Every structure is written in structure tokens, then in C-alpha cells.
Amino acid sequence: MEQKKQNPTAEDETQIISRRIQRISLHITPIPRPLHDHDNNLGLLPCATREKLEVETEKLSVYLRGKYRDMQEKIYEYFNARPELQTPVEISKDEHRELCWRQMYGLIRETGIRPLKYVAEEPAKYFAITEAVGAVDISLGIKLGVQYSLWGGSVMNLGTKKHKDKYSEKIDNLEYPGCFAMTELHHGSNVQGIQTVATFDPITDEFTINTPNDGAIKWWIGNAAVHGKFASVFAKLMLPTHDAKGVSDMGVHAFIVPLRDFKTHQALPGIEIHDCGHKVGLNGVDNGALRFTSVRIPRDNLLNRFGDVSRDGKYTSSLPTINKRFAATLGELVGGRVGLAYSSVGVLKIASTIAIRYSLLRQQFGPPKQPEISILDYQSQQHKLMPMLASTYAFHFATVNLVKIYSQMKMTHDEQLVGEVHALSAGIKAYVTSYTAKSLSVCREACGGHGYAAVNRFGTLRNDHDIFQTFEGDNTVLLQQVAADLLKQYKEKFQGGTLSVTWNYLRESMNTYLSQPNPVTSRWEGVEHLRDPKFQLDAFRYRTSRLLQSAAVRLRKHSKTLGGFGAWNRCLNHLLTLAESHIESVILEKFIEAVEKCPDASSRAALKLVCDLYALHRIWNDIGTYRNVDYVAPNKAKAIHKLTDHLSFQVRNIAKELVDAFDLPDHVTRAPIAMQSEAYAQYTQHVGF
């Protein structure tokens, strides 16, 4: 018997081969299956007979891209007309850094675009600019962000009129290239723990900046290694006192510190600059390390919007505590987080466009004695790419809304809006960048061997984007901030407080969604019901409410024995899931609103289809949660699964129009160099590589 198992007979091998052929045949030519017995019209129809929506790509594109389309086109046309400024596939670190500087310098000096003006006055326009330049080269997008959002933004948001008058124009025209020196070797996420110190000297009316130990070296500072001439340095402000301690720590503040001589470009006395070297990606950005040894700067170089020091060394602030000043400081810097979320969606648009165009044209296998079929006609390829395309649209509308409320916050300085933007930007940035990072690998795999060619961008996109999950706040830390805010809102609800706009649904959900699921609606499985936005949004919010209520109970229980910190750590994975669930609810809500507001009927129908796929795919992915509490009965779960498959097929039929509506230029979605063979050149010319 053992011998037979180890050496299968020819008959056994024949049976194995026969079974494999049968399985492959079923994969290539799936048997049409009805959604359920009374809805046979929604079965999986053959490709040629599937119903297809008529989509007017131009109208959909206009709705998607909004009023800053012309600005983005101006940027695309600038780089399209200058092939010498397009980043080649093979380029060294040093060459890439210099090219990135020339790209930014040329764009600013030759087009008249002034990003810093928009950072302050029209943030939505600034984010549209960063999306466009990031599509050309993500390194360029990040370098521009360092110059204008971080270095320029810190001066504009944390400084006062004297700083804006002195620096803003020269930051905008690149006479003053600068850095944002917050992160230290030993402290990244924990900004309050940074160790760099700025001690006031009342005799000379100066601050002395010092790096007290190696752990306090400023690290990963963009623009520092090569081009930066200034830095916004974040340090603990120390004031001399007459007690035993000798100094008083006033908390983290920002200071303008000159780094290099304008004539020689050499580091100024007391400043050591080191190169962080070659990175996994973003090698067009010159990250460096900074050490300060008794570097003296004028008292006026303190960015003093939230705290100031007088000539005689007295400290004044409109905010009474270190924690409130720190929160106000970081609150003004949240624009970088908003921009990263927005740019991450831009990267996802590029990757999904390339992968879907490839999948539409690439043909492999087919029914016997018939032509090969497009690989996007395989269910497995659709399952990889269609929910991703739906998510891309969902994220687009969610980040557009985030930019909108961020702009309102900048104009009104409303305290409630500040808190909402802080939590929402943290959650959307974490959720979107994590999803995009995973999707880049899926896109590469979906394009097979051709996806591995560097010329087709997936490797560069994946490597350059990867750090989006870390800078401007580590994603795991940011999701904890969202969870903490949800728990705070939960407490406010029971104390009768006012909930912020985004969290309003919690008041109803604690009363309605946490009651026993309706035994009738839990069994409804009709298509009209499943595609009803109310059912979809209710399901998302129900899940969030269950997670929130159970998290609160668990934290209360564990706090008695483990203390607050220990209880939080014990429940951490639960809290991260809660935060993600809430963000998914917000994203779906904004997608539904965008569908309803779309003025063109054909575009609205296409967006409704995509929105339904986004919602039902998410529900199906977490169907266990809904089944465990009988929110969804077994037959309804099966109906959701089958409808999700069907919607994926329908979205596949308009996939070309959906990616064309992103309206990305050829030099972004097609290889920028000549192909190695004529056949490959002809092939990729149509695919969009």
C-alpha cells in the first residue's frame, strides 16, 4: 500500500491530469450561475452578452477632476514638452537628486506656479499641484512638499507677520530652499520626547541650539543632505531661571536655523550635515542628518505664533499649558498628512490604470479552437482589480472631502473643526496609504512578468510610496489616535455633549444599531435592497458601533487590573480594527454623497455601480462579523457574495472608461523610454505602459 502511494500508477496520473484539465476548463469557461432562484437575469453571462453601461468619459472626468484640472494639465504639459526632465528608469542617487531639483526649479521658475501662496490661501489647489507632480515622479512630489508644505508651511502657520514678510516670497521662488527638522534618531512618532534644546541667552538676546546626544541628531531630514539652506528646527525651549534647576522647559517650539553659507554652500559653524544615503525609494530626495553644537540664532527666529519670549526672557502664550501649545503646533501641521492621503490616491490611480489597461489587452488561453480571451475576463483577475478600482474612486471622493473640510478649518480656525480634521486626516491617511501599498504589489502581480520590468513603473511606485505608511505619522499610531477620539466621542454621547459632524451617526447608532438585528431585514436578499445606500451605510455603521461599544467595555474591564496603559495595549488590535471600520464608514458616506451630487446621468449610473461594488465587497470581506450577530442571515450572505461577483463583472465592462476618466497623460502611464523590441513597443503603446 505504501509503495503504491509513493509510485502512482499510470491510471492514477491520468485521473489527476483529467481532473486538472476539467478545473482549468471551468476556470476559463465558467458555468453561468443565477444570483438566486428568483433572479436568474443576474447570472454570470458570457462576455459578449453582458449588459454594459454607456459612460461618457469626458463628463465623468470633468466631475472627478474638478476646477483644478487646468492647473494639473499645465504641469503635465510642461513635463511632456521637456523629456530631459522626465525621470529615466536607470539613474543613480546623486543624478536623481540633481534631476529632482532641476524639475522643481524649472517648474516654479518657468510656469509661474507659486505653491506657497496656495498652501496659505487655497489648499485644494496646492494639493492638486502635488498630485500632478507626484504622478511625474513621487520624489519630486515629496521634495516639493518638503519645501512648501513643511518648511514653508511651518513658517506660515507657526510664525507671525515678521516671519512671513521676511521669508515667504523667497521660499516660494526657491531662493530659500529649506528643511523640516522634527524627527530625531531616537524619537519619531513621540514628538514631545525630542531632545534637541534651544536655550535662551538674555545677555546676547539669542537662542543657542544644541544636540545633547547622538539620539537627538535630526534624522531623515528632507532637503538637508544637498540643497537646504534653512531648517525649521523643533526643539525644547529652555528659559534660564534663578532656582536650583537653572532652566525651565517650556515645551517643543520651532526655530528658523540657517544651515549653509549662501556663497560657498558650506555648512555654517556648529552645524554638521551628514547624508542618510541610498534608500529603498525616493532617492530623488536628499535626506540628511543634522547635529547642532552651540549654534546661535536671533530671538526673532523663534516661530512665535503660540508662544513668545521677550527681550528680558519672559515667556508669554495665549495657551496656558505645554500640552495645549503642543497640540496647537501639531494641529497647524496637519496639512502634510492631508496631502499624503491625497497623493496616495494619485499613486493608486496610476497603478490601477496601468494594470487594468494591460489586463484588457493581454490575452491568455480560451475555449477550445477559439481565440484567446482578455485576462480581465477571468474572474480571478476581476477579483484582484475591480474592487481596487472601486476603492480608488471611493478614496478619491473621501480625500476631496478631507481637503474641503481642511480648507474650511484654515479659514475659520473653528476648534471643533480642528479636532475633526486632526482625527479624520489621521485615519484616512493611515487607511489609504496602507491600502495603496498592498495594491501596488497586487497590480504588479496582475501584470505577470511584464509587470516586473522597471520601465512599467510598479517597482518604482511601490518603493517610493512605501514610506507613506510611516512619515507624517506611523499608520498604527495614527489609527490609535482615531480610536482614542472615537472613545472620547462615545463618552461625550452618554454625557449629553456635542458630537463633531463626522461622528454624528454615533448618537443614533448607540441607540439603534446596538439593539437586536431586525429578524426580517436580516433575511432580505433582493438586489434592490442590497444596492440600497441606506442598507450599505447602516451595515458599515452597525459594525463600527458594535466594535466601539465592545472596546469600551473591554477597556473598562482591563483598566481595573492593568491600568490605563496596560488595558489599551491589551485591546490594541481591537482598537485598530475599530478605527479602520470607522474610516470605512466615512469613506462610504462620502462616496454615496458624491454619487447623488453627480449632475450627469450616465456618470451617476457608473458611479453608483462602482459604489455598490465598494460597499458590498467590504461587507462580504467581513461577513463573519455580520453572521456572528445575525445581522445577515445565511441566504442573505450568499446573495451578497453573488451580487458582488456580478457587480465586479459589470464594472469590468466599463473599466476602460473608468480609468480613462482619471485622464492621466501618456508619459505618466506609459514607459518613457524606447522599448527593446518592435513587438513589445507596439504592444505597450496600446496598453498604457
Residue-wise pLDDT for 400-457, tens only, equals: 999 999 999 988 878 788 888 999 999 999 999 999 999 999 999 999 988 888 888 9
Average pLDDT, the chain: 87
Q: Which residues are the active-site residues?
A: 472
Lowest mean pLDDT among 153-157, 339-343, 586-590, 664-668: 664-668
Which of 135, 152, 173 finishes a domain?
173
Q: What is the DSSP string of 458-479?
A: HHHHHHHHGGGGTTTS-HHHHH
| β-strand pairing of 178-181 with 230-240 | parallel
Over range 94-101, report the average pLDDT: 97
Q: Which tops the pLDDT comparison, 550 or 5?
A: 550
Is residue 2 one of the residues assigned to a domain? no
Residue 349 pLDDT > 80, yes or no? yes
Query: Residue 589's domain is classified under what CATH number?
Result: 1.20.140.10
Query: Which pLDDT belongs to residue 39?
Result: 36
User: Could you give the number of structural domains in the chain?
Assistant: 3
Query: Which pLDDT belongs to residue 511?
Result: 61
Is residue 14 one of the residues assigned to a domain? no
Angle subtended by helix axes 335-361 and 415-446, to nearest 10: 30
Residue in this structure with the C-alpha cell 526672557, named with its chain if needed: 313
CA dihedral sign, ordered 86, 110, 468, 443:
negative
Q: Which tops the pLDDT comparison, 38 or 489?
A: 489
Q: What percentage of the chain carries pLDDT values higher than 90?
A: 69
Alpha-carbon gap, residue 164 to 244, rounded angstroms = 39
Which of 114, 147, 173 finishes a domain?
173
Q: Residue 242: give the domain boundaries.
A: 178-322
Contact by Cβ (8 Å): 479, 471: no
Query: Residue 73's domain is classified under what CATH number?
Result: 1.10.540
CA 59 to chain CA centroid, Å, is 26
Q: Is residue 286 domain-shared with residue 388, that is, in the same domain?
A: no
Q: One-letter amino acid identity for 484?
A: A
Q: Which tops the pLDDT comparison, 188 or 61?
A: 61
Is 284 marked as a binding-site residue? Answer: no
Q: Is residue 310 domain-shared with residue 202, that is, in the same domain?
A: yes
Q: Give the E-state strand segments of 222-314 in sequence order.
A: 230-240, 247-258, 271-275, 288-292, 295-298, 308-309
**Exposed e or buried b per residue across 328-337, where buried means at least 16 C-beta atoms within 10 angstroms of its C-beta:** bbbbbbbbbb
Query: Which pLDDT belongs to residue 383?
Result: 95
Query: Residue 280's domain is classified under what CATH number?
Result: 2.40.110.10
Alpha-carbon gap, residue 181 to 221, rounded angstroms = 6
Is residue 13 one of the residues assigned to a domain? no
Q: Which tops the pLDDT comparison, 488 or 640?
A: 640
Q: Is residue 309 domain-shared with residue 354, that is, in the same domain?
A: no
Alpha-carbon gap, residue 581 to 549, rounded angstroms = 13
Residue-wise pLDDT for 379-412, tens only, equals: 999 999 999 999 999 999 999 999 999 999 988 8
Residue-wise pLDDT for 179-214, tens only, equals: 999 999 998 778 888 999 999 999 999 999 999 999
Over range 463-492, report the average pLDDT: 91
Contact by Cβ (8 Å): 632, 626: yes
Contact by Cβ (8 Å): 491, 548: no
Q: Which tops the pLDDT comparison, 318 or 608?
A: 608
Q: What percentage of the chain carries pLDDT values higher than 70?
A: 85
Residue in this structure with the C-alpha cell 477632476, named with its chain if needed: 65
Q: Is residue 208 domain-shared with residue 92, that is, in the same domain?
A: no
Over range 93-116, report the average pLDDT: 96
Q: Is residue 524 domain-shared with residue 658, that is, in the same domain?
A: yes
Which of 322, 344, 368 finishes a domain?
322
Residues 6+ apart with CB under 8 A from 426: 337, 473, 478, 479, 481, 482
- With cut-offs at 50, 70 and 90, classify the pLDDT of residue 221: very high
Residue 215 pLDDT > 70, yes or no? yes
Is residue 34 one of the residues assigned to a domain? no
Is 264 marked as a binding-site residue? Answer: no
Alpha-carbon gap, residue 526 to 440, rounded angstroms = 35
Radius of gyration of the chain (CA): 28
Residue in this structure with the C-alpha cell 489616535, named with its chain if needed: 481
Residue in this structure with the C-alpha cell 547622538, named with its chain if needed: 214
Query: Which pLDDT belongs to residue 37?
Result: 36
Listed residue (129, 122, 124) closest to 71, CA to CA? 129
- Say what the pTM is: 0.86
Is residue 43 one of the residues assigned to a domain? no
Helix (H, G, I), strand (E, B) or coil at 333: coil
Q: Is residue 164 domain-shared with residue 282, that is, in the same domain?
A: no
Residue 676 pLDDT > 50, yes or no? no
Residue-wise pLDDT for 12-56, tens only, equals: 555 555 554 454 444 444 443 333 333 333 333 333 345 678 899
Q: Is residue 493 domain-shared with residue 392, that is, in the same domain?
A: yes
Q: Is residue 498 domain-shared with residue 360, that is, in the same domain?
A: yes
Helix (H, G, I), strand (E, B) or coil at 374: strand
Q: One-letter amino acid identity for 269?
A: P
Q: Is residue 358 domain-shared with residue 314, that is, in the same domain?
A: no
β-bridge mates for residue 373, sequence order: 364
Lowest mean pLDDT among 107-111, 262-266, 672-676: 672-676
Query: Which pLDDT belongs to residue 154?
Result: 95
Helix (H, G, I), strand (E, B) or coil at 280: coil
Is residue 684 one of the residues assigned to a domain? no
Residue 231 pLDDT > 80, yes or no? yes
Helix (H, G, I), strand (E, B) or coil at 315: strand
Residue 687 pLDDT > 80, yes or no? no
Cell of residue 229, nine digits: 539652506
Query: Which pLDDT belongs to residue 504?
Result: 60
Q: Is residue 572 domain-shared with residue 658, that is, in the same domain?
A: yes
Is residue 20 one of the residues assigned to a domain? no
Q: Which helix (H) or strand (E) holds 179?
A: strand 178-181
Q: Is residue 472 domain-shared with residue 384, that is, in the same domain?
A: yes
Q: Is residue 357 domain-shared with residue 459, that is, in the same domain?
A: yes
Is residue 196 one of the residues assigned to a domain? yes
Residue-wise pLDDT for 66-90, tens only, equals: 999 999 999 999 999 999 999 998 9
